[in-house]
Amino acid sequence: MTTLSAYSALAERFTRLYRYQHLHAIASWDQATMMPAKGNEARAAALAELQVLIHRTLTEPGLAGQIAAAEEENLGEMERANLREIRRSWEQANLLPESLVEAKALAGSRCEHAWRTQRPANDWDGFLANFREVVRLSREEARRLAEASGLSPYDALMDKYEPGMTSAAIESVFADVKSWLPGLIRQVRERQAGEEVITPVGPFAVERQRALGLDVMKLLGFDFDGGRLDVSVHPFCGGVAEDVRITTRYREDDFVQSLMGIVHETGHARYEQGLPRDWLSQPVGLARSMGIHESQSLSFEMQLGRSPAFLELIAPLVRRHLGEQDAFSSANLARLYTRVQPGFIRVDADELTYPAHIILRFEIERALIEGEIEAADIPALWDEKMQAYLGVDTRGNFRDGCLQDIHWTDGSFGYFPSYTLGAMYAAQYFAALRRQQPDLDAQIAAGNLVPVFGWLERNIWSQGSRWQTNELVTRATGEALNPAYFRAHLEQRYLG
């Protein structure tokens, strides 16, 4: 009987972990889309049990020696990168006790499930009763991670989603954005005040919107043999690379947001479907970070989806499915999808005001995890910052204020900065792509999306977690993250 090398034994273990995570992902998707309400307590317990199994598999005592032995073996470049990611997963898991992992999973499931009815009921007090426990457990997780890493509690949580990023770096980037964004918003709104925009006239039947969305997904290269589209309270991309599940939500009086939501989630899905197939069961074959993941969804939604060239391409599809209206001309669709109007809802925000929504959430969740505020303080802070950053009054409107997002319900603190990092990465990608392909917009308008997909596949999707984030972005674009591309993109698109 041949004895496995230390590295091979680790690879076998992580293949097993990947299969557990596969089941967790599909059961979580079902919980959000198909599961009847009375199934939640049992599903929460089952998911928590699966989380415990994953945690035990990652924390068996013999792994320390196995990882150390593997580091002395003769490994190839991808194997060495995989071992780096294996060590990171193992180190993080060993900092958290099993009881905390289980308790946080249960608390998150209960809070998220109740939130689905509490949000439409504008029931902040009811939400708070569950949310306080999520915050308590998240702070405990942050404390344990911080003590071992030397990071602040909030940075320790953010590191789960964006390895190597710190709140100091985020603060610096966001401070710069805050210095020029309000003025740019004012300029653009003044300029757009004289534009005529035709409002589409509904109702738009859900089945017609769905058919339109499916056709746009096909255009964007989504593999329907390896994924599907469904409906959920909050749009998301779930499942696994071999079986990607994306969702949207529909309103019969407004197709604009659901369609672009589908484009956004398809960006996530194409990343998953494009990850290196030979390495999918290993950490090195997975998405690099959530900032990089969001860069894919925002490459699709903001860089491609809201571009005049792409809207010219899909205008005939819109008319085919939703009927002939002057509002569905390509020029009017471009005005609709670049209209700047501060509003309540993050996921419905235009490209220009969106960063303000993220900055607000970053500032609140960091203060919450660091113990500077308590959960009950969130509504007042939310109202204050929405008024200051966007001139929007959210007092008493919890549904469209601090209850609107799903992220905090399960303790996903530290995730929100990934959205604006993703927007910045996406702007940098497309600047690099346009240098290589100066006629890119003409190609897109003509229906040739191969230059976009090919560039992303070569530089991002196929790389998985082979490189750490700065190295990945530098190899793709010639430099590490440079927020100047984001500002230049916005000024070019909105001021021309």
Residue 217: what are its φ and ψ, rounded to 5°?
-60, -40
Residue type at 245 in one-letter notation? R
In a domain, 185, yes or no: yes
pLDDT for residue 477? 98
Q: How many domains in the chain?
A: 2
Single residue among 87, 121, 151 that ends a domain in this structure: 151
- Three-state helix/strand/coil letters over the chain: CCCCCHHHHHHHHHHHHHHHHHHHHHHHHHHHHCCCHHHHHHHHHHHHHHHHHHHHHHCCCCHHHHHHHHCCCCCCHHHHHHHHHHHHHHHHHHCCCHHHHHHHHHHHHHHHHHHHHHCCCCCHHHHHHHHHHHHHHHHHHHHHHHHHHCCCHHHHHHHHHCCCCCHHHHHHHHHHHHHHHHHHHHHHHHHHCCCCCCCCCCCCCHHHHHHHHHHHHHHCCCCHHHEEEEECCCCCEEEECCEEEEEECCECCECHHHHHHHHHHHHHHHHHHHCCHHHCCCHHHCCCCHHHHHHHHHHHHHHHHCCHHHHHHHHHHHHHHHCCCHHHCHHHHHHHHCCCCCCCCCCCCCCCCHHHHHHHHHHHHHHHHCCCCCHHHHHHHHHHHHHHHHCCCCCCCCCCCCCCCCHHHHCCCCCCHHHHHHHHHHHHHHHHHHHHCCCHHHHHHCCCCHHHHHHHHHHCHHHCCCCCHHHHHHHHHCCCCCCHHHHHHHHHHHHC
pLDDT of 254 > 80? The answer is: yes
% pLDDT > 70, the chain: 100
Over residues 365-403, the pLDDT tens digits come to 999 999 999 999 999 999 999 999 999 999 999 999 999
Over residues 276-290, the pLDDT tens digits come to 999 999 999 999 999
173 and 121 in a common domain: no
Catalytic residues: 265
Single residue among 135, 151, 167 that ends a domain in this structure: 151
d(CA 52, CA 100): 10
* Averaged pLDDT, 295-302: 97
Residue type at 72 in one-letter notation? E
Known binding site for Zn(2+): residues?
264, 268, 294
Over residues 1-60, the pLDDT tens digits come to 467 899 999 999 999 999 999 999 999 999 999 999 999 999 999 999 999 999 999 999
pLDDT of 84 > 60? The answer is: yes
303 and 191 in a common domain: yes
* Averaged pLDDT, 69-90: 97
pLDDT for residue 151? 96
pLDDT of 130 > 60? The answer is: yes
293 and 226 in a common domain: yes
Single residue among 103, 119, 151 that ends a domain in this structure: 151
187 and 110 in a common domain: no
245 and 117 in a common domain: no
pLDDT for residue 4? 83
d(CA 349, CA 366): 22
132 and 83 in a common domain: yes
156 and 92 in a common domain: no
Known binding site: residues?
264, 268, 294
* Averaged pLDDT, 398-414: 97
In a domain, 308, yes or no: yes
169 and 35 in a common domain: no
* Averaged pLDDT, 445-467: 98
In a domain, 1, yes or no: no
Q: Which residues constitute the domain of residue 127? A: 6-151
317 and 359 in a common domain: yes
Question: Residue 443: how many CA atoms within 13 Å on its side-chain side?
Answer: 14
278 and 309 in a common domain: yes
Domain with residue 231: its CATH number is 1.10.1370.30
234 and 94 in a common domain: no
In a domain, 216, yes or no: yes
d(CA 491, CA 155): 31
178 and 36 in a common domain: no
% pLDDT > 90, the chain: 98
In a domain, 438, yes or no: yes
Over residues 310-331, the pLDDT tens digits come to 999 999 999 999 999 999 999 9
pLDDT of 490 > 80? The answer is: yes
* Averaged pLDDT, 466-492: 97
pLDDT for residue 2? 60
pLDDT for residue 484? 97
Handedness of CA 75, 81, 87, 89 (dihedral sign): negative
pLDDT for residue 3? 73
pLDDT for residue 234? 83
In a domain, 265, yes or no: yes
* Prediction pTM value: 0.95
